[in-house]
Structure 1
Amino acid sequence: MATQNSRKPDSVPFVNLPREIITEILLRLPVKSLLKFRCVSKSWLSLISSPRFIKTHLEISTNNNIYSHNKIIFISASASHILYTCSFYPEIDDNPTMDIVPIYNHSSHTERVVRVVGSCNGLICLVLEPRIVVILNPATKKSRKLPVSVKSNRLTMDYGFGYDESNNDYKVVEISWTHFISDKYENQVKVYSSKTKSWRIIDGTAGFIVHGCGVFANGAIHWKVQYPDGNPTDWFIIAYNVTTDRYKMVAKPQFETGLLNSLLVVSAGRLCVSCKYFTHADIWVMKEYEVEESWTKLVRVPNYLDLKSQINTTPFFVLENGGVLLKNGFSIVMYRPLNECIEINTKGFVLHVSTYTESLVFPDFGHEDGS
């Protein structure tokens, strides 16, 4: 006769709660817990692995303005082929746990330089130089290597990563350009679609130089660009709409004179621009997309913070309340208004850094059979 201790998992009282209640509870749990709970029963495995559950869990996590599901992901100078993740909140734990995330077939790519392109729906787009693109979910540690695009004789490449929600299509954009005589530049734009699982060449704005990887906001990937024969301070923003496959110009904010540098960042899915001066950096947010008058100054970050060093302090994520994550030389700090600044213990030198929202989304864009 079965004893109380030999009861099957499905007979535990918690599991016998109404399915709707169980679902609502699970939807608010972190990914790490959900991965463990898939072993509770077949019904839980089916629920947690279902596309509807994954999508709803992501929506709840994304709309959580306390950022409890958000993580920092970075590459250390001590091991440039390994990714590490840690929490947004250094004040919670003086010695935060850092997870090591393997890169696709990482043992064969240990000598390659890794670039973090960006994140979307919990997926990270990486480029292993030269031109190996990998889509990774750091939370589930699943990854997918994309086919290499058609060979090109172009010398310089930059990338962007975004999601076409209306067609459930993830896209990677590769922009390359070649320097010809008389400061003439030729561009080529290729787009990888998760729907077609292939690359194709599209028409793009010609003759510009791209500064860094693209920023995904408002359904478009944005780059800071300039023409080679123009004034270094005369830059502009182009946006590639992932649904229409079209480029457009986006107005930049009316910043002050004396600008030293500018950088595109994101806050709660909205496009931001960081404008750096000798004494401070102003971060602007476009509250209403494509409306130039909606550019609003969100926060001012002084250049002289209470830090161990003041080396090339640049923002890489902006919270809605004005908090700013900064890469300060080889370290990461959280700045909050009123000059409060907390260093995040990364236990080593940081080379490249980005953020993501933890999710259960599969890196092969829909099926759990990735490598």
Structure 2
Amino acid sequence: MTDVFLWLPVKSLLRFRTVCRSWAALLSSDEFCGLHRAKVEAEAAPPPKLLFISPAASFDSTGIYSCSPSGNGLLLTLNDVRGDHVDMTPAPCHGITLLHDAVEPAYYVFNATTRAVTRLPPCQDSFMAIAGLGFDSRRRDYKVVRLFFEKHFGVDNIKCEVYALGGEHGDRWMPAAGGVPFRFRRFAAAAIIATRSEAKLMPVFADGFLHWVVDSPLFLAKPRAAVLSFSLAYETFRWFRSPIFEVPGVHLVELDGHLCMVRDLRPDTSIMEIWEMQDCNSGDWTLAHRIDLLQHVQRGLTEPQIISHWFCWQLWIKEQGNLGYIQTQGDHL
């Protein structure tokens, strides 16, 4: 029976999990998920896809689209959500994407494969907030993590709450188990400001942690931390130093399951560097890729901005209405 299930798409497997308890246990097991993932990866890779949101024809609705070299398509429409006030996580987490409606305010999670959408329950009122989505491999839960200033700007006013999809605490937000310790509060404040700035440096999920860039005018001198990280399993914070350079102007991505920091060296050179953290325990960075953009992209992409990626080995670039991507496989580009 397992061999038959391995040939089925994810959408069918989700339906079969509701047939009986034994099928649900089999199709949810780590062993089966690993076998199915390996089989999918061994097959020919589909065309790369980019998810994006856009205001729909109606004033108060939003369209969610997929885009690839082979064509575009509307996945679904969210009613009562204004597309010009919606933020989306930079990359799906195991196929799940988080949306934030700033007008309501409200959070949504959706699955681009099944097109299922869930609106999360109301969260605590805040002065300024950011949120990210990750997966707790210990409890097998998807979690939305929200950092926010509770009433006004100030490091003494920072809170963190967590919503577990289908978790044991029911349909409600819970304070993070470890809270926000005092020694992390300035870093957390900087992360909130960086995310809400024009650059919108959204948190990235990798290696079981949500990661935020610590880049803010809050610090008169270079801070010790370059990255603030939150463990989805233990709901505690930690921080990492930067590589051998200072943080301003960088952003984070996830490649091949690892946290990476992208450094753009222009206008001095045409080089873009991708630094990778192979081991979160050591916190050491290594230079994984050094890309001469003039050799790999058109001159029209003179000032690219990384906006998203669908697979972990793709960086999508947008500038002046043009779209492109860089594919990394091992040490090759």
Which TM-score applies when normalising by structure 1?
0.67
CA distance in 2, matches of 1:129, 1:252: 31
Give yes or no for the alignment of 1:240 onto 2:213: no
Structural mapping, 1:1-371, within 5 Å: 19-26=1-8, 30-31=9-10, 34=12, 46=19, 50=24, 52-53=26-27, 59-60=34-35, 62-63=37-38, 64=41, 67-68=45-46, 71-76=49-54, 81-87=62-68, 90=69, 96-103=70-77, 106-110=78-82, 113-117=85-89, 118-130=91-103, 131-152=105-126, 154=127, 156-177=128-149, 186-194=157-165, 195=167, 196=169, 197-202=171-176, 203-204=179-180, 205-207=184-186, 208-210=189-191, 211-212=194-195, 213-226=202-215, 228-231=217-220, 236-255=226-245, 261-278=249-266, 279-302=270-293, 305-314=297-306, 316-317=308-309, 324-336=315-327
| Greater share of strand | 1
The one of the two structures with greater contact order (alpha-carbon pairs below 8 A, sep at least 6) is: 1
Q: List, as ranges, runs of 4+ consecutive aligned residues in structure 1 with deviation greater than 6 Å.
A: 77-80, 178-181
The Cα of 1:107 is off from its aligned counterpart by 2.2
CA distance in 1, matches of 2:17, 2:228: 45
The Cα of 1:233 is off from its aligned counterpart by 6.8
- Larger deviation: 68-77 or 246-255? 68-77
Cα deviation, 1:146-181, whole Å, max 9, x if unaligned, reads 0011223x1x22111111111122211111237968
CA distance in 2, matches of 1:51, 1:301: 48
Which structure: larger Rg? 1
Q: Which amino acid aligns with 1:72?
A: L
Which TM-score applies when normalising by structure 2?
0.74
Q: Which amino acid aligns with 2:300?
A: K
Alpha-carbon spacing, 1:326–1:189, altered in 2? closer, same or farther (3 Å) = same
The Cα of 1:237 is off from its aligned counterpart by 0.4
Q: Which amino acid aligns with 1:224?
A: V
The Cα of 1:300 is off from its aligned counterpart by 2.1
Two-structure CA RMSD over aligned residues (Å): 3.7
Percent identical residues: 19
Count of aligned pairs between the two proteins: 297
**Which stretches in structure 2 are left out of the alignment for 5+ residues?**
196-201
Question: Contact 1:317/1:326 (CA < 8 Å) preserved in 2?
Answer: no
CA distance in 2, matches of 1:306, 1:173: 38
**Which stretches in structure 1 are left out of the alignment for 5+ residues?**
1-18, 91-95, 342-371
